[in-house]
Amino acid sequence: MSPKRAVTLQDVADHAGVSRGAASFALTGRNGVSEATRERVRASAEALGYRPNLSARNLRAARTGVIAVYLPAVAPTLSYYAEATFGIVNEAMAAGLVVTLVPSPAPGTILPRLRADGLIAIDPAPGDPALEQLLSAGMPVVSGEEMPAEYRRVRGEVRSDHTAATLRLLDHFHANGAKAPAVISPEGSLGWAEEVTTAYRAWCAEHGIKERVEVVRLDSLPESTVAATETLLGARDPADAILALTEGSVLNVLTSATEYGRSAGNDLLVAAAVDSPALQFTEPTITAIDLNPREFGRACMRIMLDVLEDRASTSEVVRHNVPIEINFRDSTRGKRV
Amino acid sequence: MSPKRAVTLQDVADHAGVSRGAASFALTGRNGVSEATRERVRASAEALGYRPNLSARNLRAARTGVIAVYLPAVAPTLSYYAEATFGIVNEAMAAGLVVTLVPSPAPGTILPRLRADGLIAIDPAPGDPALEQLLSAGMPVVSGEEMPAEYRRVRGEVRSDHTAATLRLLDHFHANGAKAPAVISPEGSLGWAEEVTTAYRAWCAEHGIKERVEVVRLDSLPESTVAATETLLGARDPADAILALTEGSVLNVLTSATEYGRSAGNDLLVAAAVDSPALQFTEPTITAIDLNPREFGRACMRIMLDVLEDRASTSEVVRHNVPIEINFRDSTRGKRV
DNA sequence: CTGAAAGCGCTTACAG
DNA sequence: CTGAAAGCGCTTACAG
């Protein structure tokens, strides 16, 4: 509205009666300026409503002020990624950085080279050409979940203990009467899904229980999900508890249960490996692992900030663990007595 | 990886044997340079892999290169907003602009003043203090859906014809045997929800059918959604078709139907006013209005670009309509004969 | 402890 | 049609 030009560092310096350099030193907290002067400059800045021009600052520092975030192609469909992104944005804003989402390019398309000071890649998948291109830009990288070994080393890695959570959930199934738990997992390369499935297999081995893993195809999700449910529930020896990795597959199991003469939450336990808001609205409500995506995103950005400010080790990968929990709901309550 | 400094306009000029100014003119397509020179400069830029430094360009132009996007607080839970955001980002990238998401502040929190060249506000709600603060920054604003009248005029407004889609869906209900359609809507101020509900009321009036509108409270969504379903289905004179505005409420209706002795898709028609991926995975699959969020986002950004480049009228609001469709699925197929 | 000056990479009046 | 110069707002060696 007000067409008056923005207040500049020079304005602040003039107002405080010092040179521009001194004002800069005072405001950025560098040594070389008396405490009294610093206070005076701060007061002037405050009074004038000074806000540093980031373009100028970035130009000077040979930075862009931008952090790129790369999400899997399925991102828009999963509230998990939206939450994680908001976590990243939150933390970035506080540091005066801007976050740019890198859209997964349509297959065959090439990404425009992007200017950024760092890249946060969530759930990086092996063999993703766009990811490869991004990594080759040479900026520091923090990954959410494990970066596939084939790629160059990352500076930071944020993870969660999916194995422990999975085992706990399977124990919960077991305690509530399940003898034949199963897993429905998307095919391919999400490290997270693989970790859950591997934990499941280990649990089965330890308990001497037959493995039931159904894999759904990403290119025909609805159909293959229906088929997976049928295989698990229509078998002569059907599953009596299902851990579904995606929202689609839990919902399919839950809403198909009666077709197979089962009652979800009662003689068929159902849980999701990742929570989402919808799971509180079904009847019965659905037990799910709460991946704490907001905090996960924040953690990624915090490590990125450490890296950018040279507070992070350059020789080894900074690792951080985000705790996850289980939201127990009615779908795993088991037979009523 | 390569620590060699970025190639600058000066490098291109040297390579092409012209002055920096001439190179600038050539590359930005301005007049004042011969076609031959222009070509030579272009070739040099190409050969050297020149990419303009946006910080410098922005500094010069007194811009930030950033477009702020403001979404409702519920954004992370709805795939609609994620899709719209990706649409915005897509279009922005092509124009060399960066998108920053403004997180809805926790109540009472104040937003840090943000630097941006423009603001895109999706589903702006009347009385939102954060929105008010953002608008007062004085940058050009484009709104997705109608900007509440109390706020200052926007430069652009992207909308969809929810009324027409709603009427069409109600006709579809009717054609498939529904005599008592109902609506479950979130309380409050989303203009979109109000438009759908108003269209519903008009339809009821026209058909001489009793209105059944249940409003769910945002602060206790799951509980009040359950209550809404109960009111509609447990009544002496129950609804036989339900248009639910949110994913949560459709899922609740669908999964509760049998409790009330109803069969969704058969003697109880169910539809959602906004599509989401989960709705293809339920049994039955759920009919929904496809709001085309990606295109909606793109349209917002395209108008913003027109405004920023002064291609848009300054005297009147630029308006654009994004067409929406209905994805017909099994939940509204009606009684099998 | 402070000030004057240079320079980050660009664009754009202004002379030639 | 082209070149030399100024300046966007900042930070930071360098002298004093």
Same domain, B271 and B195: yes
Best mutation target, B7, B9, B55, to test chain A (most A CBs within 10 A): B55
Inter-chain touch B59–A56, beta carbons under 8 Å: yes
* Chain B touched by A234 (CB under 8 Å): no
Angle of helix A293-308 relative to helix A79-94, nearest 10 degrees, comes to 40
Same domain, A213 and A277: yes
With residue B300 as reference, give the H or E element that holds it: helix B293-308
Which residues of chain A are within 8 Å of residue B262 when distances are taken between CB atoms?
A: none
pLDDT of residue B327: 98
**Residue B58 belongs to a domain:** no
Same domain, B91 and B240: no
**Residue A2 belongs to a domain:** no
**Residue A197 belongs to a domain:** yes
Q: What is the mean pLDDT of residues B6-23?
A: 89
B321 Cβ contact partners less than 8 Å away, ≥ 6 residues apart: B158, B159, B160, B161
Specify the amino acid at residue B206: E
**Residue B333 belongs to a domain:** no
CA distance B56 to A223: 52
What residue has its CA nearest to the C1' of C9?
B56
Same domain, B301 and B245: no
**Residue A61 belongs to a domain:** no
**Residue A59 belongs to a domain:** no
The Cα-based distances of B15 to B20, B25, B33, B48, B191 in angstroms read 11, 15, 17, 9, 56
**Residue B2 belongs to a domain:** no
Inter-chain touch B99–A101, beta carbons under 8 Å: yes
pTM reported for the whole predicted model: 0.92
Q: What is the mean pLDDT of residues B23-44?
A: 86
Which residues of chain B are within 8 Å of residue A94 when distances are taken between CB atoms?
A: 112
Q: A62 CA to C1 C1', in Å?
A: 29
Tell me if residue B128 falls in helix, strand or coil.
coil
Same domain, A237 and A152: no
pLDDT(B105) > 80: no
The Cα-based distances of A301 to A57, A98, A158, A330 in angstroms read 21, 11, 10, 35
Query: What count of other Cβ atoms lies within 10 Å of the Cβ of residue A202?
Result: 14
Same domain, A258 and A314: no
**Residue B238 belongs to a domain:** yes
Query: Are A67 and A120 in contact, with CB atoms under 8 Å apart?
Result: yes
Q: A57 CA to C7 C1', in Å?
A: 13
CA distance A151 to B135: 44
pLDDT of residue A143: 97
pLDDT of residue B267: 95
Q: Looking at residue B112, which CATH number applies to its domain?
A: 3.40.50.2300
* Of the ranges A38-52, B113-127, B199-213, the best mean pLDDT one: B199-213
pLDDT in tens, B51-101: 899 999 999 999 999 999 999 988 888 899 999 999 999 999 888 899 999
Q: What is the mean pLDDT of residues B203-209?
A: 97
Q: What is the mean pLDDT of each run of 10 residues along chain A (337 residues)?
A: 69 89 87 85 91 91 94 88 94 90 79 85 90 88 93 92 98 97 89 94 97 89 92 95 96 96 96 96 97 97 94 90 98 83
Same domain, B181 and B233: yes
The Cα-based distances of B328 to A208, A252, A282, B172 in angstroms read 46, 18, 22, 9
Domain that holds residue B258: 162-290
Q: Rounded to the nearest 5°, which phi and psi values hold at A13?
A: -60, -45
Instruction: Please state whether beta strands B287-290 and B325-327 pair in parallel, antiparallel, or not at all (unpaired).
Output: antiparallel
CA–C1' nearest nucleotide, residue A33: C1
Work out the minimum CA distance from A62 to partner chain B, whole angstroms.
9
Residue with tokens 């007062």: B136
Residue of B265 and A115 predicted with greater confidence: B265
A33 Cβ contact partners less than 8 Å away, ≥ 6 residues apart: A22, A25, A26, A41
Residue of B143 and B313 predicted with greater confidence: B143
What residue has its CA nearest to the C1' of D3?
B19
CA distance B86 to B99: 10
Inter-chain touch A77–B115, beta carbons under 8 Å: no
A258 Cβ contact partners less than 8 Å away, ≥ 6 residues apart: B258
Same domain, B238 and B279: yes
Same domain, B260 and B275: yes
Q: Looking at residue A22, which CATH number applies to its domain?
A: 1.10.260.40
Same domain, B117 and B221: no
pLDDT of residue B291: 97
pLDDT of residue B3: 46
Same domain, B72 and B186: no
Which residues of chain A are within 8 Å of residue B136 when distances are taken between CB atoms?
A: 1
* Chain B touched by A76 (CB under 8 Å): yes
The Cα-based distances of B228 to A117, B183, B204 in angstroms read 49, 10, 19
| Residue of chain A whose alpha carbon sits nearest to that of B57 | A55
User: What are the structure tokens assigned to B129, written together?
Assistant: 């203090």
Mean pLDDT of chain B: 91
* Chain B touched by A331 (CB under 8 Å): no
CA distance B162 to B200: 11
pLDDT in tens, B207-232: 999 999 999 987 778 899 999 999 99
Query: Are B172 and B334 in contact, with CB atoms under 8 Å apart?
Result: no
With residue B119 as reference, give the H or E element that holds it: strand B118-122
Same domain, A221 and A194: yes
pLDDT of residue A1: 38
Inter-chain touch A66–B98, beta carbons under 8 Å: yes
pLDDT of residue B171: 98
Number of domains in chain A: 3
pLDDT(B196) > 90: yes
